[in-house]
Amino acid sequence: MANRVHYYLLWLCSNAYYKNCAAVRAAGATPINKGDPVYRKALDRDGDGIGCE
């Protein structure tokens, strides 16, 4: 839950965008779940709703 709050606050404050999963990992923000503000299909290679797993 705390991670989701963190992602949401990042998104609200800076419109956070991760270019790729390497950037997500570098930020310590893995995994990204469908419904999280920073989730997008390009980060979810297998389409299971979990990005950068």
Give DSSP secondary structure letters for 19-35. SSHHHHHHTT---EETT
Q: What angle do CA 46, 23, 30 make, to 5 degrees?
A: 55
Domain count, the chain: 1
pLDDT at 6: 74
| pLDDT mean across residues, the chain | 85
Residue percentage of the chain with pLDDT more than 90:
53
pTM of the model: 0.66
* Structure confidence by residue, pLDDT tens digits, 15-33: 678 899 999 999 898 999 9
Q: What is the largest CA-CA distance in the chain?
A: 29
Domain span at residue 20? 2-51
